[in-house]
Amino acid sequence: MPQAKTIIITGASSGIGAATALALAQGRANLVLGARRIERLEQVAAQCRRLGAAALAVPCDVAQRAAVDRLVALGVEKFGRLDVMLANAGYGFLERIHEATDAQFDAIVNTNVKGTWYAMQAAAAVMLKQPPIGMGKSRRGHIIAVSSGAARRGLPLYGIYALTKAAQLSLCEALRVELLPQGVYVSSVHPLATATEFFDVASRQSRFRSTGLGHAQPVEAVARKIARLIRRPRPELWPVPGSAWLLALAAAFPRLADHVMARTVGNRPR
Protein backbone atom coordinates (compact mmCIF):
# COMPACT_ATOMS: atom_id res chain seq x y z
CA MET A 1 0.00 0.00 0.00
CA PRO A 2 1.51 3.40 -0.97
CA GLN A 3 2.71 5.56 1.91
CA ALA A 4 0.39 8.46 2.70
CA LYS A 5 1.82 11.81 1.62
CA THR A 6 2.37 14.50 4.22
CA ILE A 7 1.05 17.78 2.84
CA ILE A 8 1.25 21.24 4.41
CA ILE A 9 -1.32 23.81 3.27
CA THR A 10 -1.13 27.46 4.29
CA GLY A 11 -4.27 29.58 4.17
CA ALA A 12 -6.25 26.40 4.82
CA SER A 13 -9.18 27.87 6.76
CA SER A 14 -11.21 28.80 3.67
CA GLY A 15 -11.27 29.06 -0.11
CA ILE A 16 -8.82 27.10 -2.23
CA GLY A 17 -6.82 25.97 0.80
CA ALA A 18 -9.79 24.45 2.61
CA ALA A 19 -11.23 22.88 -0.53
CA THR A 20 -7.87 21.33 -1.41
CA ALA A 21 -7.51 19.93 2.10
CA LEU A 22 -10.90 18.24 1.77
CA ALA A 23 -10.06 16.90 -1.69
CA LEU A 24 -6.78 15.45 -0.42
CA ALA A 25 -8.41 14.05 2.71
CA GLN A 26 -10.39 11.66 0.55
CA GLY A 27 -7.05 10.15 -0.50
CA ARG A 28 -6.09 9.63 3.16
CA ALA A 29 -3.25 12.16 3.13
CA ASN A 30 -1.50 13.38 6.27
CA LEU A 31 -2.51 17.03 6.39
CA VAL A 32 -0.85 19.89 8.24
CA LEU A 33 -3.15 22.90 7.97
CA GLY A 34 -2.06 26.44 8.76
CA ALA A 35 -4.02 29.70 8.93
CA ARG A 36 -4.61 32.66 11.21
CA ARG A 37 -8.28 31.91 11.90
CA ILE A 38 -7.82 28.93 14.19
CA GLU A 39 -11.53 28.24 14.86
CA ARG A 40 -12.30 27.94 11.16
CA LEU A 41 -9.09 25.98 10.66
CA GLU A 42 -10.10 23.46 13.34
CA GLN A 43 -13.45 23.01 11.57
CA VAL A 44 -11.68 22.18 8.30
CA ALA A 45 -9.35 19.77 10.10
CA ALA A 46 -12.32 18.03 11.71
CA GLN A 47 -13.98 17.61 8.31
CA CYS A 48 -10.75 16.10 6.95
CA ARG A 49 -10.59 13.62 9.81
CA ARG A 50 -14.17 12.54 9.14
CA LEU A 51 -13.08 11.77 5.56
CA GLY A 52 -10.34 9.49 6.85
CA ALA A 53 -7.27 11.74 6.83
CA ALA A 54 -4.92 12.57 9.67
CA ALA A 55 -5.09 16.35 10.11
CA LEU A 56 -3.16 18.75 12.30
CA ALA A 57 -4.35 22.37 12.66
CA VAL A 58 -1.66 24.93 13.48
CA PRO A 59 -2.19 28.69 13.86
CA CYS A 60 0.09 30.38 11.36
CA ASP A 61 0.56 33.90 10.04
CA VAL A 62 2.78 33.38 6.98
CA ALA A 63 4.03 36.96 7.21
CA GLN A 64 6.04 35.78 10.24
CA ARG A 65 9.00 33.52 9.39
CA ALA A 66 8.97 31.93 12.86
CA ALA A 67 5.33 30.92 12.42
CA VAL A 68 6.05 29.22 9.08
CA ASP A 69 9.10 27.44 10.50
CA ARG A 70 6.98 26.23 13.42
CA LEU A 71 4.27 24.96 11.07
CA VAL A 72 6.80 22.88 9.14
CA ALA A 73 8.56 21.65 12.28
CA LEU A 74 5.32 20.47 13.88
CA GLY A 75 4.26 18.70 10.70
CA VAL A 76 7.56 16.85 10.38
CA GLU A 77 7.55 16.04 14.09
CA LYS A 78 4.11 14.45 13.83
CA PHE A 79 4.40 12.66 10.48
CA GLY A 80 8.16 12.25 10.02
CA ARG A 81 8.34 13.69 6.52
CA LEU A 82 7.20 16.53 4.25
CA ASP A 83 6.12 15.56 0.75
CA VAL A 84 4.18 18.64 -0.42
CA MET A 85 4.18 22.29 0.60
CA LEU A 86 1.17 24.15 -0.78
CA ALA A 87 1.88 27.86 -0.24
CA ASN A 88 -1.67 29.13 -0.65
CA ALA A 89 -2.09 31.91 1.93
CA GLY A 90 -2.66 35.34 0.42
CA TYR A 91 -5.12 38.14 -0.19
CA GLY A 92 -5.80 41.11 -2.43
CA PHE A 93 -7.07 44.66 -2.24
CA LEU A 94 -8.25 47.21 -4.75
CA GLU A 95 -6.47 50.53 -5.14
CA ARG A 96 -5.07 52.69 -7.88
CA ILE A 97 -1.28 52.37 -8.06
CA HIS A 98 -0.65 56.07 -7.52
CA GLU A 99 -2.96 56.21 -4.48
CA ALA A 100 -1.81 53.10 -2.57
CA THR A 101 -0.07 53.59 0.77
CA ASP A 102 3.17 52.21 2.12
CA ALA A 103 1.17 50.25 4.70
CA GLN A 104 -0.96 48.58 2.04
CA PHE A 105 2.08 47.72 -0.06
CA ASP A 106 4.16 46.36 2.81
CA ALA A 107 1.34 44.25 4.25
CA ILE A 108 0.46 42.47 1.01
CA VAL A 109 4.11 41.88 0.08
CA ASN A 110 4.77 40.45 3.55
CA THR A 111 1.93 37.96 3.20
CA ASN A 112 1.85 37.07 -0.49
CA VAL A 113 5.55 37.28 -1.38
CA LYS A 114 7.56 36.87 1.79
CA GLY A 115 5.06 34.32 3.11
CA THR A 116 5.55 32.22 -0.03
CA TRP A 117 9.33 32.62 0.21
CA TYR A 118 9.32 31.57 3.87
CA ALA A 119 7.28 28.48 2.99
CA MET A 120 9.64 27.59 0.13
CA GLN A 121 12.72 27.95 2.32
CA ALA A 122 11.32 25.98 5.23
CA ALA A 123 10.07 23.19 2.97
CA ALA A 124 13.27 22.97 0.93
CA ALA A 125 15.38 22.71 4.09
CA VAL A 126 13.44 19.57 5.06
CA MET A 127 12.98 18.03 1.63
CA LEU A 128 16.62 18.21 0.60
CA LYS A 129 17.64 16.23 3.69
CA GLN A 130 15.00 13.50 3.57
CA PRO A 131 15.44 10.23 1.68
CA PRO A 132 13.80 10.01 -1.74
CA ILE A 133 10.71 7.93 -2.40
CA GLY A 134 10.64 6.38 -5.86
CA MET A 135 12.39 7.81 -8.91
CA GLY A 136 10.06 10.66 -9.96
CA LYS A 137 10.97 14.31 -10.30
CA SER A 138 9.28 15.04 -6.93
CA ARG A 139 10.93 12.06 -5.19
CA ARG A 140 12.11 14.25 -2.29
CA GLY A 141 9.21 16.70 -2.33
CA HIS A 142 6.97 19.07 -4.22
CA ILE A 143 6.61 22.81 -3.52
CA ILE A 144 3.51 24.48 -4.97
CA ALA A 145 2.63 28.18 -4.84
CA VAL A 146 -0.91 29.33 -5.54
CA SER A 147 -0.36 32.38 -7.70
CA SER A 148 -2.97 33.79 -10.11
CA GLY A 149 -3.69 34.60 -13.72
CA ALA A 150 -2.70 38.10 -12.61
CA ALA A 151 0.91 36.86 -12.55
CA ARG A 152 0.91 37.27 -16.34
CA ARG A 153 -1.16 40.45 -16.63
CA GLY A 154 -1.54 43.43 -14.32
CA LEU A 155 -5.18 44.25 -13.62
CA PRO A 156 -6.59 47.76 -13.02
CA LEU A 157 -7.12 48.36 -9.30
CA TYR A 158 -5.32 45.08 -8.58
CA GLY A 159 -1.91 46.30 -9.72
CA ILE A 160 -0.08 45.72 -6.43
CA TYR A 161 -1.81 42.36 -5.95
CA ALA A 162 -0.71 41.42 -9.48
CA LEU A 163 2.85 42.44 -8.58
CA THR A 164 2.85 39.91 -5.71
CA LYS A 165 1.46 37.17 -7.95
CA ALA A 166 4.12 37.83 -10.59
CA ALA A 167 6.74 37.67 -7.84
CA GLN A 168 5.44 34.27 -6.75
CA LEU A 169 5.69 33.00 -10.31
CA SER A 170 9.27 34.26 -10.62
CA LEU A 171 10.21 32.50 -7.39
CA CYS A 172 8.69 29.26 -8.69
CA GLU A 173 10.40 29.45 -12.06
CA ALA A 174 13.83 30.01 -10.53
CA LEU A 175 13.45 27.54 -7.67
CA ARG A 176 12.25 24.76 -9.99
CA VAL A 177 15.49 24.89 -11.96
CA GLU A 178 17.58 25.17 -8.80
CA LEU A 179 16.04 22.15 -7.03
CA LEU A 180 15.09 19.77 -9.83
CA PRO A 181 18.46 17.96 -9.86
CA GLN A 182 18.01 17.21 -6.15
CA GLY A 183 14.57 15.65 -6.63
CA VAL A 184 12.41 18.55 -5.40
CA TYR A 185 9.87 19.82 -7.91
CA VAL A 186 8.26 23.28 -7.93
CA SER A 187 4.92 24.25 -9.50
CA SER A 188 2.72 27.32 -9.66
CA VAL A 189 -1.09 27.43 -9.82
CA HIS A 190 -2.91 30.21 -11.67
CA PRO A 191 -6.64 30.49 -10.94
CA LEU A 192 -8.72 33.28 -12.42
CA ALA A 193 -11.92 34.27 -10.64
CA THR A 194 -12.81 31.58 -8.08
CA ALA A 195 -15.99 31.29 -6.02
CA THR A 196 -14.41 32.14 -2.65
CA GLU A 197 -14.58 35.06 -0.23
CA PHE A 198 -11.55 36.65 -1.93
CA PHE A 199 -13.43 39.47 -3.64
CA ASP A 200 -15.57 40.21 -0.57
CA VAL A 201 -12.47 40.46 1.59
CA ALA A 202 -10.69 42.60 -1.00
CA SER A 203 -13.67 44.92 -1.25
CA ARG A 204 -13.94 45.34 2.52
CA GLN A 205 -10.31 46.46 2.66
CA SER A 206 -10.69 48.91 -0.21
CA ARG A 207 -12.44 52.04 -1.42
CA PHE A 208 -13.74 50.03 -4.39
CA ARG A 209 -15.96 47.01 -4.88
CA SER A 210 -15.23 44.21 -7.30
CA THR A 211 -16.71 40.86 -8.24
CA GLY A 212 -13.76 39.86 -10.40
CA LEU A 213 -13.58 38.95 -14.04
CA GLY A 214 -16.50 37.04 -15.48
CA HIS A 215 -17.83 33.71 -14.21
CA ALA A 216 -16.30 32.40 -10.98
CA GLN A 217 -14.94 28.86 -11.16
CA PRO A 218 -16.12 26.56 -8.33
CA VAL A 219 -13.42 26.22 -5.70
CA GLU A 220 -13.88 22.44 -5.68
CA ALA A 221 -12.86 22.30 -9.34
CA VAL A 222 -9.61 24.12 -8.57
CA ALA A 223 -8.98 21.81 -5.60
CA ARG A 224 -9.43 18.67 -7.69
CA LYS A 225 -6.92 19.96 -10.23
CA ILE A 226 -4.39 20.76 -7.49
CA ALA A 227 -4.80 17.23 -6.14
CA ARG A 228 -4.12 15.95 -9.67
CA LEU A 229 -1.07 18.23 -9.90
CA ILE A 230 0.32 16.60 -6.76
CA ARG A 231 -0.07 13.18 -8.35
CA ARG A 232 1.41 14.31 -11.68
CA PRO A 233 3.71 17.32 -11.19
CA ARG A 234 4.17 19.88 -13.96
CA PRO A 235 5.49 23.44 -14.04
CA GLU A 236 2.20 25.37 -14.16
CA LEU A 237 -1.46 24.61 -13.53
CA TRP A 238 -4.05 26.88 -15.15
CA PRO A 239 -7.40 25.63 -13.77
CA VAL A 240 -9.49 27.50 -16.38
CA PRO A 241 -9.00 25.79 -19.76
CA GLY A 242 -7.42 28.09 -22.32
CA SER A 243 -6.58 30.83 -19.83
CA ALA A 244 -2.82 30.51 -20.35
CA TRP A 245 -3.32 31.05 -24.08
CA LEU A 246 -5.53 34.08 -23.45
CA LEU A 247 -2.84 35.63 -21.26
CA ALA A 248 -0.26 34.93 -23.95
CA LEU A 249 -2.53 36.71 -26.42
CA ALA A 250 -2.80 39.65 -24.02
CA ALA A 251 1.00 39.87 -23.91
CA ALA A 252 1.15 39.84 -27.71
CA PHE A 253 -1.55 42.52 -28.07
CA PRO A 254 -1.29 44.79 -25.01
CA ARG A 255 -3.48 47.56 -26.44
CA LEU A 256 -6.34 45.11 -26.96
CA ALA A 257 -5.80 43.73 -23.47
CA ASP A 258 -5.98 47.23 -21.99
CA HIS A 259 -9.31 47.79 -23.72
CA VAL A 260 -10.76 44.50 -22.48
CA MET A 261 -9.55 45.09 -18.91
CA ALA A 262 -11.11 48.55 -18.83
CA ARG A 263 -14.49 47.11 -19.86
CA THR A 264 -14.65 43.91 -17.83
CA VAL A 265 -13.18 44.61 -14.40
CA GLY A 266 -16.24 45.06 -12.20
CA ASN A 267 -15.58 47.94 -9.84
CA ARG A 268 -17.01 51.15 -8.59
CA PRO A 269 -16.09 53.64 -5.85
CA ARG A 270 -17.92 53.16 -2.58
Q: List residues with catalytic annotation.
A: 161
Kind of pairing between the strands at 184-189 and 236-237: parallel
Kind of pairing between the strands at 266-269 and 208-212: antiparallel
| Distance between CA atoms of residues 63 and 202, nearest Å | 18
